Amino acid sequence: MKALCWYGTGDVRVEEVPEPVIENGRDAIIRITSTAICGSDLHLYNGYMPTMEKGDVLGHENMGEVVEIGSDVKNLKVGDRVVIPFNMACGNCFFCNKELFSLCDNSNPNAEMAKKMMGHSPSGLFGYSHLLGGFAGGQAEYLRVPYADVGPLVLPADVPDEKLLFLSDIFPTGYMAAENCGIEDGDTVAIWGCGPVAQFAIKSAWMLGAGRVIAIDNVLERLELAAASSAETINFDDVDVFDALMEMTDGRGPDRCIDCVGCEAHAGGTLDGTLDALNTSIFLATDRPHVLRQTIMSCRKGGTISIPGVYIGYGDKIPIGAAMNKGLTIKQGQTHTHKYMPMLLEKIVSGEIDPSFVITHELPLDDAPQAYGMFKDKKDGCIKVVLKP
């Protein structure tokens, strides 16, 4: 079959690879009908994620049709149309029982490697390094889905892929990001980044009772899309973000701050950005936490910071003293996708939201290498790419 394979920084190729087969009674094989490129894939494409190997198949935002099931899978049948959460969960460990699915104790076969770096291992992920399981992703014609008796959600036939695909990741991620900041009615919520995750965080902040949403980026079409969701916007090329936020909130700062940027923040010519560039180039740090610093400095005293943006290893000069003395709450994590999918599907079916609003490009899988370059460089107004194998 055809699949998109990683070969190194800026080097992904569509190649012929063996079709996946059932390896375990709890597996299913899915014929992919739609798969998307995520900002998280850029951390692989840009070479920030360790333990990638040449030939690894990428893609964790997947949906399709069930073509084969293992003997223990009773909830699916061949022909079902499903969307697949980007993380894998066993459904019955300590963490799964608490609905903390992205922390599943059983789904990462390379847990020992992750424990050395983090103390404990998070769940396995599709197409996201050997540290997180070494599982093939779904930017391919077929995908093996482990724990298929727990993850895939069966979908209604009459709703198009474009409205359902983002249940696999970015809609639940934006929703959990907003939920994690504990929005109280009327709160001002500031959101760093206007990428796809941030666009869903904006919509979700409104759903959860925000009174004002302020969105920050420097890409004009992304700022415009945020404004179309009734966010006020700040272009960080034009103004100092801290000063602008203080001016907009009478000096108090936003009640809730969401970092939808993560480890690869742009920091222009700032002092901390220059230090980050130096530190990461000589392996003294892996992450560039410019946005995290800004959220901590800007958030109002006693406020909350939510971090859906991915951080990988070690960040430098994170102002923990400001966070402590201002009494901030910080919540973060990979999304517990399984927990949110059924509830968010209802919002789509009822017409409360149409997630396809973020799609700017729909392309054949063969065009994936060019699509990665375009998405990375934000060329041609690219906000979200859907690939059709």
Q: Is 330 in the site for Zn ion (CB under 5 A)?
A: no
Q: Would you say the C-alpha torsion 189, 287, 173, 340 has a positive or negative sign?
A: negative
Q: If you ran DSSP here, which 8-state letter would residue 110 be given?
A: T
Q: What character string, x for contact with ligand NAD (CB under 6 A) and - otherwise, covers 267-286?
A: x-------------------
Bridge partners of 305? 257, 330
**Closer residue to Zn ion in complex, CB, 104/261:** 104
Bridge partners of 12? 6
Q: Is 37 in the site for Zn ion (CB under 5 A)?
A: no
Near Zn ion by CB under 5 A: residue from 1, 17, 22, 93: 93
Looking up tokens 């943006």, which residue turns up?
Answer: 309
**Closer residue to Zn ion in complex, CB, 62/106:** 106
The helix (H) or strand (E) run that includes residue 342 is: helix 337-349
**Closer residue to ligand NAD in complex, CB, 244/291:** 291
Q: Is 40 in the site for Zn ion (CB under 5 A)?
A: yes
Q: What character string, x for contact with ligand NAD (CB under 6 A) and - otherwise, covers 45-84?
A: ----------------------------------------
3-state class of 332 per DSSP?
strand
**Sequence-ordered alpha helix ranges (H) in 153-251:** 161-164, 170-180, 196-207, 220-228, 241-248
Evaluate whether 234 touches 13 at the Cβ level (below 8 Å). no
What is the spatial distance between Cα 31 and Cα 143, in angstroms, rounded to a whole number? 7
**Closer residue to ligand NAD in complex, CB, 254/308:** 308
Query: Cβ-closest residue to ligand NAD?
Result: 39
Work out the angle at residue 3's Cα, subtended by the Cα atoms of residues 312 and 133, and round it to the nearest 5 degrees. Answer: 35
Q: Is 174 in the site for ligand NAD (CB under 6 A)?
A: no
Task: Please state the closest distance from residue 222 (CB atom) to ligand NAD, in A.
Answer: 5
Evaluate whether 342 touches 365 at the Cβ level (below 8 Å). no
Site size toward Zn ion (CB under 5 A) is 9
Task: Please state the closest distance from residue 48 (CB atom) to Zn ion, in A.
Answer: 15
Stretch that binds ligand NAD, among 146-154, 210-218, 297-305, 338-346 (CB under 6 A): 210-218
Q: Which of 179, 186, 227, 168 is CA-nearest to residue 204?
A: 179
Query: Cβ-closest residue to Zn ion?
Result: 38
Q: Is 90 in the site for Zn ion (CB under 5 A)?
A: yes
Task: Please state the closest distance from residue 62 (CB atom) to ligand NAD, in A.
Answer: 13
Stretch that binds ligand NAD, among 1-9, 49-57, 186-194, 360-368 (CB under 6 A): 186-194
**Closer residue to Zn ion in complex, CB, 233/337:** 337
Q: If you ran DSSP here, which 8-state letter would residue 104 be given?
A: -
Q: Which of 364, 373, 387, 356 is CA-nearest to residue 170?
A: 356
What are 99's two structure tokens?
A: 């609905």
Near Zn ion by CB under 5 A: residue from 149, 169, 255, 276: 169
Q: Which residues of 67-103 are buried (b: 16+ CB within 10 A; e: fewer)?
A: ebbbeebeebeeebbbbbbbbbbbbebebbeeebbbb
Which residues form the interface with Zn ion (CB under 5 A)? 38, 40, 89-90, 93, 96, 104, 106, 169
